[in-house]
Amino acid sequence: MLILGIETSCDETAVAVLDDIQGILSDIISSQLEHSQYGGVVPEIASRTHLKTILPVLEKALSAAKVSLSQLDGIAVTCGPGLVGSLLVGISVAKALHFSLAIPLIGIHHIEAHIFAAILENPELSPPFVALVVSGGHTQLIFLPAFGVYEILGSTRDDAAGEAFDKVAALLGLGYPGGPIINRLAEKGDPEFMKFPRASVKDFEFSYSGLKTAVVNYVKNSPADIVRRHLSDIAASFQEAAVDVLVEKSIQAAKHKDVEKIAVAGGVGANSRLRNLLKERAAKAGVSVFYPSPVLCTDNGAMVAKAGAFRLSLGQTSGLDLNANPRMKL
Ligand code: KG4
Ligand code: ZN
């Protein structure tokens, strides 16, 4: 069975072809560089860029997979949450293909897709498990008692983890998206240079505004040449604080639910310090951790296709009334 996966919820235009037996046949991702000068995603620019890019990306995905449209068995598309104008571009293309090819259309929740990215490369990962979802828009711990069943254990009260990386990078004048830049810079820095605060919010909730403010205050109150000289140390110290709480709470959540598996999903899941620290501390707690490879942590079409194959196997499809839902619930 061949499923096309389309993802346009934010600033990546992505299309993939997935074979349910052979796996990913193609996975084309076009990241919008247009936003870097603004330090964040500009919704109007995002939707206009998706419009320009979606058809070339679709054609590339089909030709890389050596698959023609007529061979497809289903079209999966992210329908929320995300930027409404961006979501609508992917949904419109998916609906046109669904209508003209007369094959099933499957609207997919973006976070469900991220969780399925971990399953794509780890077929042995099956529920029950705890998923740590860390992206630019979400920071959540979710318990999956079964595939497709989501019990949210806790979310961020303010900024998402990825948002904190992006804001701190902008503050340090490093560019956008900040996560990968801080990650690279931190490799050369001392994580103990500054002890930035770990948020103490209850249970499985998170908060990143205090950490962000602590970095802002440090930078404001320090001479510019000291900041410049210690950029990698500041990045490493911030990253250590940001990652530390994610690791601790993920392990606590696994213990609370009495499960031995944690799956990591979302763009911040590509962070090398998070991956190493979680693996190390989870091993001590007798818990296994499952990651998508870094390229499948950030937005992509393959994860949407994988979630689509799952929903299709349950007979859950969408009609031409499928709409973008910017605040879609899991
Ligand atoms: O999942 P994603 O591609 O899009 C959303 O659904 O939001 O996540 C994007 C976020 C951005 O905030 C980006 O800075 C962050 O993931 N990110 C990282 C890394 N790679 C991407 N954060 C920390 N370390 C990384 N290596
Ligand atoms: Zn995402």
Tell me whether residue 121 is in a domain.
no
Q: Candidates 268, 275, 277, 300: which one to mutate for ligand 1, based on the most atoms within 8 Å of Cβ?
A: 268
Residues 26 and 107 occupy one common structural domain: yes
Judge residue 146's burial from the number of C-beta atoms within 10 Å of its C-beta, 0-12 exposed, 13-18 middle, 19 or more buried.
exposed
List, in order, residues 6 or more apart from 132 with CB less than 8 Å away.
Answer: 140, 141, 246, 250, 253, 262, 263, 264, 265, 269, 278
Whether residue 176 lies inside any domain: the answer is yes
Shortest-distance ligand to the CA of residue 138: 1
Could you say which ligand is closest to the alpha carbon of residue 134?
1
Say if 325 falls within a structural domain.
no
- Strand 288-290 with 261-265, pairing: parallel
pLDDT confidence of residue 200: 82
**Domain check: are 111 and 163 in the same one?**
no
Residues 6+ apart with CB under 8 A from 119: 125, 263, 306
Q: Does 204 lie in the same domain as 108?
A: no
User: What mean pLDDT comes out for the span 158-169?
Assistant: 96
Residue 36, pLDDT above cutoff 90: no
Residue 269 sits in the same domain as residue 304: no
Ligand 1, atom 16, lies closest to the CA of 267
Asked if 148 and 102 sit in the same domain, the reply is no
- CATH classification at residue 89: 3.30.420.40
- Ligand 1 atom showing the smallest separation from residue 178 Cα: 14
- Cα of 186 to ligand 1 centre, how many Å? 16
How does the average pLDDT of the chain come out, rounded?
97
Give, in order, the Cα–Cα distances in Å from 181 to each of 144, 167, 212, 232: 32, 12, 16, 10
Please state the pTM of the whole predicted model: 0.97
Q: How many domains does the chain have?
A: 2
Same domain, residue pair 107 and 180: no
CA of 138 to the centre of ligand 2 (A): 8
User: Are 164 and 106 members of one domain?
Assistant: no
Q: Is pLDDT at 66 greater than 80 in this prediction? A: yes
**Residues 102-118 pLDDT 10s:** 999 999 999 999 999 99
Contacts of 159 by beta carbon, 8 Å cutoff, 6+ apart? 167, 207, 208, 209, 212
Among 183-192, 193-202, 310-319, the minimum mean pLDDT is found in 193-202
- Residue 39 predicted with pLDDT over 90: no
Confirm whether 64 is domain-assigned: yes
Q: What is the pLDDT of residue 267?
A: 97
Domain-embedded: residue 253: yes
pLDDT band for 125, please (50, 70, 90 cuts). Answer: very high
Domain extent, residue 10, equals 2-115+297-313
Residue of 59, 13, 108, 80 lying closest to 303 (CA atoms): 108
Q: Percent of the chain beyond pLDDT 90?
A: 96
The bound ligand whose nearest atom lies closest to the alpha carbon of 267 is 1
Q: Which two tokens stand for residue 60?
A: 């590339």
CA of 312 to the centre of ligand 1 (A): 28
Give domain status of residue 327, yes or no. no
pLDDT digits (tens, 9 = 90+) for 253-289: 999 999 999 999 999 999 999 999 999 999 999 999 9
Question: Is the same domain home to 68 and 110?
Answer: yes
Find out whether 142 and 131 touch, Cβ atoms under 8 Å.
Answer: yes
Q: Is residue 156 part of a domain?
A: yes
Tens of pLDDT, residues 240-252: 999 999 999 999 9
* pLDDT at position 130 over 80: yes
* Residue from 39, 61, 37, 57 nearest 49 by CA: 57
Ligand 1: residue of 36, 165, 243 to mutate (most ligand atoms within 8 A of CB) is 165
User: According to the model, what pLDDT value does residue 38 have?
Assistant: 84
Residues with CB under 6 A from ligand 1: 10, 135-137, 162, 165-166, 177-180, 183, 266-268, 270-271, 298-299
In terms of domains, do 140 and 285 share one?
yes
Nearest-atom index, ligand 1, CA of 9: 6
